[in-house]
Amino acid sequence: MKARILIRPKQGILDPQGQTVERALPALGFSGISEVSVGRLVELEVDEPAQLEDLCERLLANPLIEDFEIQLPEG
Amino acid sequence: MRIGVVRFPGSCDEADAIAAASAVAEAELLWHGRTDLDGVDAVVVPGGFSYGDYLRPGAIARYSPVMTAVAAFAADGGPVLGICNGFQVLCEAGLLPGALLPNNSLRFICRQVDLTVERTTTPWTAACEAGEQLSIPSKHANGRWYADDQTLAQIEANGQVVFRYAPGQNPNGSLADIAGVCSEQGNVVGLMPHPEHAVDLLTGSADGLKLFASVLEEGASVPIS
């Protein structure tokens, strides 16, 4: 099955990428947008999704600085 | 004494590390695919962009076969020095505390910085004096050392901060101006700036030689050409 893994900078850690994107918005005419944060998306095909947690902790994310969320197809 | 310098696909500072190590000892390259360290007495994990820095700097290199041998060598008290990307690899491997985040400026920075030596009881700083300042080039995009509050308090209390950027010279937003840390035992040291690029007065500073001289012999005098 296809799985999506969202990897985000941990809350409270300075995210200069998100800040830089946010600072660019007013010049483009966007308003009312805040708390911009930039992370990573990993998509993969997996037979045994139970192993994804371990994969995330050991390789795809660094738990010291990032949170991850595994999304599997419903049903 | 023989110093081994690891080479990953994408390393680029291993030749300078070999040259710096050769100033004080014999030096040899250790290809990342090997599972032993050829009996070397000290290991340098050099700078560069191992595996293209894909995913996160050091994330893939830490699983290279040679890193299992480096971890065992470190656990036995062997001296290991991680420079820049090597520091990132050692943090990812859990051999050093914390992690390296993108510079707060989001820019690749390349400049000479002064480092204050905070701890001299490591195999890589024994030839330095506490509080001494070293002039060392710094060049990286992901050098903002970070740890959570509890880890930071713990490593400060344990004396695991080895180098700090001199006041006002922190180039990347690193916590507490930390430029380099060591393991609990002190034998594994990592830093973002590049001592292997500061080994000849012709290029501005030979202060980096002190790290290599340290590993040769505690308190060894530094040969400056």
- Chain B hits for A14, Cβ within 8 Å: 101, 104, 144, 173
Residue recorded with tokens 């299992």: B68
Q: Is the predicted pLDDT of residue B206 greater than 60, yes or no?
A: yes
Q: What is d(CA A30, CA B1) in angstroms, rounded to the nearest whole number?
A: 62
pTM given for the model: 0.94
* Per-position DSSP letters for B31-100, written without gaps between them: ETT-SS-TT-SEEEE--B-GGGG-SSTTTTGGGSHHHHHHHHHHHTT--EEEETHHHHHHHHTTSSSSEE
Compute the mean pLDDT over every residue in chain B, rounded to the nearest whole number.
Answer: 95
- E strand spans, B141-203: 144-146, 161-165, 178-182, 188-191
Domain ranges of chain B: 2-216
Mean pLDDT calculated for residue range B2-30: 97
Cα radius of gyration (chain B): 15
- Chain A hits for B101, Cβ within 8 Å: 13-14, 65
Compute the mean pLDDT over every residue in chain A, rounded to the nearest whole number.
Answer: 95
Residue in chain A nearest B150 by alpha carbon:
A64
* Three-state SS at A14: coil
Mean pLDDT calculated for residue range B168-196: 98
B85-136 pLDDT per residue, tens: 999 999 999 999 999 999 999 999 999 999 999 999 999 999 999 999 999 9
- The DSSP secondary-structure symbol of B197 reads G
Among A9-13, B161-165, B221-225, the range with the most confident prediction by mean pLDDT is: B161-165
pLDDT at residue B218, as a whole number: 53
Mean pLDDT calculated for residue range B52-64: 96
Q: Tell me, yes or no, if B132 is annotated catalytic.
A: no
Q: Tell me, yes or no, if B140 is annotated catalytic.
A: no
**Measured between CA atoms, how close is B142 to chain A, in angstroms?**
12
**Cβ contact A69:A5 at 8 Å:** yes
- Domains of chain A are 2-71 (3.30.1280.10)
Q: Is the predicted pLDDT of residue A1 greater than 80, yes or no?
A: yes
pLDDT at residue A74, as a whole number: 83
Residue in chain B nearest A11 by alpha carbon:
B148
CB contact under 8 A, A14 and B147: no
The helix (run of H) or strand (run of E) holding residue B15 is helix B14-22
pLDDT at residue B223, as a whole number: 43
CB contact under 8 A, A14 and B63: no
Q: Is the predicted pLDDT of residue B221 greater than 60, yes or no?
A: no
pLDDT at residue A65, as a whole number: 96
pLDDT at residue B225, as a whole number: 39
pLDDT at residue A59, as a whole number: 97
Q: List the CATH code of the domain at B2-216.
A: 3.40.50.880
Q: Is the predicted pLDDT of residue A53 greater than 90, yes or no?
A: yes
Q: Is the predicted pLDDT of residue B222 greater than 60, yes or no?
A: no
**Cβ contact B98:B146 at 8 Å:** yes
Q: What is d(CA B125, CA B133) in angstroms, rounded to the nearest whole number?
A: 12
* Per-position DSSP letters for B110-155, written without gaps between them: EEEEEEEE----STTTTTS-TT-EEEEEEEESS-EEE--HHHHHHH
Q: What is d(CA B52, CA B14) in angstroms, rounded to the nearest whole number?
A: 15
Can you say whether residue B81 is alpha, beta or left, with left for phi > 0 and alpha for psi between -120 and 50 degrees? beta
- Chain B hits for A59, Cβ within 8 Å: 55, 59-60, 63
- Chain B hits for A60, Cβ within 8 Å: 55
**Cβ contact B117:B163 at 8 Å:** yes
Q: Is the predicted pLDDT of residue B33 greater than 60, yes or no?
A: yes
pLDDT at residue B155, as a whole number: 97
**Does the beta carbon of A17 lie under 8 angstroms from any beta carbon of chain B?**
yes
